[in-house]
Chain A
Amino acid sequence: MKIDRRSFLSFVIGGAAGTAFTPLPWKLTDDSAIWTQMWPWTPVPDYGEVSYVNSTCTLCPGGCGITVRKIEERVVKIEGLSGHPVNDGGLCLLGLSGAQLLYGPRRVKTPLKKVNGKFRRISWDEAIGELATKLADLRAKGGSHKVAFIAASDQGTLPELINRFLTVYGSPNFIRTPSILDSYELTLDLMHGVQALPGFDIENTDFVLSFGSGLLDGWGSPVHMFRANSSWRDRKSTVVQIEPRLSNTAAKSDKWIPIKPGTEGALALGLAHVIIKESLYKKDFVHNYTIGFEKWRRPVVDGFSPDIVAKITDVDQTTITDLARKFARASKPLAVCGRGRGTTPGSLKEFMAVHALNALVGNLNMAGGLWTIPDADYIDWPELEMDDTASTGMQKGRIDGAGSQNYPHARYLFNRLSEVINSASSPPIDVLGVVGSNPVYTAPDTLSTKEAFEKIPLVVSFSSYMDETAEMADLILPNHIYLERYEDVPVISGIKYPLIGLAKPVIDPQFNTKHTGDVIILLAQALGGFIANAFPWESYEACLEETLGDKWETLLQQGFWLNVSFSPPSWAKAFETASGKFEFVNDQIDALPRFSSLKPEGKEASFPLVLIPYDSMRLQREFIGNPPFVIKTVEDTVLKANDVLVEISPDTARPLGLKEGGYAELSTPKGSARVKVHIYDGIKPGLVAIPAGLGHTAYSKYLAGKGVNINSLIGPVEDPASGHDAAWGIRAKLSKA
């Protein structure tokens, strides 16, 4: 057949028309769209009855109220509880992703025992029996004091149960993980003479002077602080942030004062100098309710004039004078300290210097000031009856040296543990229990911590997750996670009222786990005698209900118990020191303001830069690792693939030949790591900032192996005044890789 122009056109037009009219191509396109989307493996969530259960979040000490949305017996979403005194509906990103912890792939699903380096499943009876036998043997051999427990808090029923168990068993070694609470408690003890927690009346303050506290980076009760910040904006309060890096807190503050790190205490005394010199302090308070002011005043006036302080701190003189005047003249000023999230106790003298500023402006126990909150007192159990073994064990000194001649004031010295264990010829701890904490990850100097843990014959982890410490443990007795258990939460993170939250089971335990409180009671019963007698409760829940007494019903229904009528004692009654007054100087620790900066570890010649960790809400650096949702929010200038980015200023980068996103070798006296570089204008030249909370080796693939753990690059620095860890950084070197 001959193809001419006419037949060709007929064919093309006819074909086009035919194609247009037949449904086939459209049908095929549609079908292919459907076919390429209807993947059978795309999950289809089930419907069901919706219910809400109110509880308390225990993922950090913040104590937020939560309401959990369930579809039948599934936890679908966790939201903030409206009307709760801490968070009133808001919630942080970790609290919001709690369901991922509940259903996370790295839950410990059953008790595990390490046999030849591998975990083997065992039953609860076997696990508790084995631990009880070991403890009984140790006790019979007179080694009861060689048992220690590490916990994140010493308040609430569970820590008290553990403490009670240790006491009646015969060991003084209950160890709380470190935080700024250590330094604040000590400051209040030495200057006020009271055993109390600091409460901050942040809702009413109109001038916040923060010495490096990450008020918006996780310090205190995070959501409470965010709410406070919004109220400061509404009320036009002033926030001054003193810290070497432009953190989120600094970015939100009214004035950011980039200080030379480690010299914050000197700046506080410099401000005091101006306040005293210009007679701006509150005379009524200072003259009538304090003692030692004259003695304290002299070295401050002589040694901390603005020109001297300017040289120490890199903050210019006019800024110092100006700041001191504004602070003292504000109607409700408040000075706070404790760097970042407050995971390191810090230098006691720095805390006392900052606290002296609060005293000078007379804000103690006043509206907008710092309040002393008494420890929770609802735990009132019968007196312990102890046998001789227990008494003998309790009289042995603590392993960490707290309370001994060298460290008379410290209550717990977690930071000394590795050193004590590593330097001993035979292990000073035979059995170590770890509850609600992950010291192998969170303790500074990871290498030596691991070495110490390897030396302990029996490490028992009570973790719900396969974290770094659980991986090193010999026995794991998994606790229910917070959504599956009862727990009272005395809120300790700076809330100005005595407040107790109650976490309660919102869902049945998903796995073969057991409440640690029940495990302690079962252990005691297995050991028998005086130990069993000390635990008359049949279960943790029964113990909790009995302990909380008349508060139990309120807690069950409302989720929290708040002493609204609480007001801190007036100045005349507030101080329980020997003099009955606020003490500026304390001869016991030679607290005269002779500032000497705690030097970071390392020699300047080989490590010309200084490495500082920084905190962010989007990176959890404590017990709980980032769930997938949280790690997803981390910016690509912090983490890129598996590489962490360290921040340096352009001026620091240039001579080193470092470029944005380029690889570098970061080394410190404690270790080295391959990192990427992020050039950041918001950091003081000469510093390297690294995000804390990365570098997990445990947990799931969503977190493990990403970035570097700051604790593998930094070691503890002992504060000569208290014995606590006061490291704020370490000398470092950065070279192009």
Chain B
Amino acid sequence: MQFGSGGYLPPAHSTFGGCGLPHCQIAEKQKTYDNGSKKLPDPSIRLNGVNWPAKIEDDGARSPIENRQFKGVLMEKGKAKKNKKFGMVIDLDKCTGCGSCMVACMAENNVSFREDETDKLLSVTWMRVYKLTNGKPFPDSEICYLPRPCMHCEADHGHSPCVSVCPATATDYDMNTGIVSQIYTRCFGCRYCMAACPYQVRVFNWYDPVWPDGMEKMLSPNVSVRMRGVVEKCSFCFHRYQLAKDKAYYEGRQDLEEDEYQTACTQACPASAITFGNLNDPDHAITQIVRPDHQLGGRSKNPRAFRLLERLGANPKVYYLSNREWVRHSGDNYRPDEVKL
């Protein structure tokens, strides 16, 4: 498994930047820079080679620059489809705004909390449920809830808005899974990515995470606790993917079943409004619902479906479904003459 730029640590340590201890820091650096013997041959030579596709599953550690080249090669060869592209579709007609996804995410990912969480700009939340209104007066007013995880934008060739601006390579688009990573120990808190993210999914840790006495017992070792001064965001529960892959490996299997890797929010949703899976696998429910057009950056062929800020071209992998036109139109900015509601 290749993620970010390395996958040689035991699962718990390779999760989103390791545990944060000094030994992990060193490991991070080693993965990034001290991999001379594991370097891929120059991709430009590979380009002309006939055997290239066989190497796609290669999990060699690469430097950030090599990683980008690697992605470019994949794209040019048009083999990205062989990779996984995890995405999510949320049925807004089923979502009741109950908040289970938010709490499932917090509990799964060791999200911290403070005494006052009502300033939502400071509130660390990976999954946030927005309340949309149609703006009409009583009694024609309507509301709709919209859960918003990280969109894991593919943009063009994996140049997600946040990935493009990160000076520390703390965030990266993984061509194998389509997941945008965040490595906390690399992040030094410049917050360029927060400015770049069109969806405001990224949050900065302004404060030390503090658990009341005894409550740190509920922390999961699968996800490292973030410290003050770094940016964090939804990972599509990447550690669950790693654990599932480990399990499959031990059982001698190459690939995962659809239900083996599901995010915490998908699993918890009491309304079953969230469907998660591999957009490149035609057998997965999400692909059948979304019917992505890979020629058009994954735009959905389902008339019920829409993505947030579709026209921005960030090509997010989170889709929404609604029968209501005003809900679908609230996903983007339209001029008054474009839309009549």
Contacts and interface: CB of A to CB of B under 8 A. Distances in A.
Interface stretch (B75-83, B194-202, B218-226, B328-336): B218-226
B113 A39 contact: no
Q: Which 5 A-B pairs have the closest CB atoms?
A: A90-B270, A681-B141, A33-B188, A226-B270, A45-B219
Nearest to A78: B107
A382 to B, nearest CB: 42
Contacts of A99: 107, 218
Contacts of A684: 138-139
A44 B21 contact: yes
Contact of A44 (B19, B131, B189, B211): B19
B267 A93 contact: no
A104 B212 contact: yes
B90 to A, nearest CB: 12
A634 B184 CA distance: 27
Interface in A41-83: 41-48, 71, 74-80
A238 to B, nearest CB: 14
Interface of A: 29, 32-34, 36-39, 41-48, 71, 74-80, 87, 89-93, 96-97, 99-100, 102-105, 216, 222-223, 226-227, 229-230, 233, 246, 248, 251-252, 256, 258, 510, 617-618, 628-637, 639-642, 649-651, 681-685, 700-702
B21 A47 contact: no
Contact of A700 (B93, B139, B212): B212
Contacts of B227: 37-39, 42
B100 A630 contact: no
A91 B141 contact: no
Given A42-B208, A44-B19, A685-B138, A104 B215 contact: yes
A629 B188 CA distance: 27
B225 A681 contact: no
B118 interface: yes
B133 to A, nearest CB: 7
Nearest to A226: B270
Contact of B270 (A47, A87, A100): A87
B97 interface: yes
A74 B103 contact: no
Nearest to A44: B19
Interface of B: 12, 19-22, 25, 91, 93-94, 96-100, 102-104, 106-108, 110, 113, 115-120, 123, 125, 129, 131, 133, 135-139, 141-145, 168, 184-185, 188-189, 208-209, 211-221, 224-230, 267-273
A641 to B, nearest CB: 6
A75 B217 CA distance: 7
A611 B189 CA distance: 47
Contacts of B217: 74-75, 103
Contacts of A78: 107
Nearest to B10: A47
B113 A226 contact: no
Contacts of B267: 79-80, 89
Contacts of B104: 79, 91, 93, 96
19 contacts: A34-B22, A37-B184, A38-B20, A39-B227, A77-B220, A90-B100, A93-B99, A93-B103, A103-B217, A104-B215, A222-B270, A248-B145, A251-B144, A633-B102, A633-B103, A633-B129, A635-B131, A649-B138, A684-B139
A701 B115 contact: yes
Contact of B98 (A104, A216, A251, A628): A216
Given A227-B271, A252-B96, A639-B118, A44 B20 contact: yes
A190 B184 CA distance: 64
Contacts of B214: 103, 105, 510
Contact of A43 (B98, B123, B216): B216
A618 B208 contact: no
Contacts of A33: 168, 188-189
B218 A76 contact: yes
Contacts of B118: 634, 636, 639-641
Contact of B99 (A256, A633, A681): A633
B271 A100 contact: no
Contacts of A682: 133, 138, 141, 143
Residue from the set B94, B218, B220 with the largest chain A CB neighbour count within 10 Å: B218
Given A223-B270, A681-B137, A682-B143, A74 B218 contact: yes
Given A233-B94, A641-B116, A701-B115, A39 B108 contact: no
A45 B221 contact: yes
A26 to B, nearest CB: 12
A454 B139 CA distance: 46
Contact of A632 (B117, B145, B168): B117
A632 B125 contact: yes
Contacts of B20: 37-38, 42, 44
A48 B211 CA distance: 20
A673 B224 CA distance: 43
B96 A629 contact: no
A617 B98 CA distance: 5
Nearest to B168: A33
A39 B215 contact: no
B132 to A, nearest CB: 10
B141 A618 contact: no
A229 B136 contact: no
Contact of A90 (B108, B184, B230, B269): B269
Contacts of A618: 98-99
Contacts of B209: 42-43
A239 to B, nearest CB: 12
Given A222-B270, A629-B106, 14 more contacts: A29-B188, A42-B227, A45-B225, A74-B217, A74-B218, A93-B104, A97-B106, A103-B215, A226-B270, A226-B271, A631-B117, A633-B103, A636-B120, A639-B118
A248 B102 contact: no
Given A631-B117, A634-B118, A229 B208 contact: no
Contacts of B93: 233, 252
Contact of A45 (B168, B220, B272): B220
Most chain A C-beta atoms within 10 Å of own C-beta, residue among B12, B117, B137: B117
A77 to B, nearest CB: 5
Given A79-B267, A618-B99, A682-B143, A45 B117 contact: no
B273 to A, nearest CB: 7
Given A42-B208, A682-B138, A230 B103 contact: no
A227 B271 CA distance: 5
A382 B131 CA distance: 56
Scoring A43, A78, A630, A649 by chain B CB atoms within 10 A of each residue's CB, the highest score goes to: A43
A248 B139 contact: no
Nearest to B97: A248
Nearest to B215: A103
B218 A44 contact: no
Given A38-B22, A629-B113, A636-B119, A46 B221 contact: yes
A46 B217 CA distance: 9
Contacts of B108: 77
Given A37-B185, A681-B133, A702 B113 contact: yes
A71 B98 contact: no
A97 B218 CA distance: 10
B144 to A, nearest CB: 7
B138 A258 contact: yes
A80 B265 CA distance: 11
Nearest to A105: B212
A38 B226 CA distance: 10
Interface centre among B21, B185, B268 (most CB of A within 10 A): B268
Given A37-B20, A93-B102, A635-B131, A230 B113 contact: no
A32 B230 CA distance: 13
A702 B120 CA distance: 16
Given A90-B272, A100-B215, A682-B143, A44 B225 contact: yes
A642 to B, nearest CB: 8
A43 B107 contact: no
Contacts of B129: 633
A93 B215 contact: no
Contacts of A230: 94, 271-273
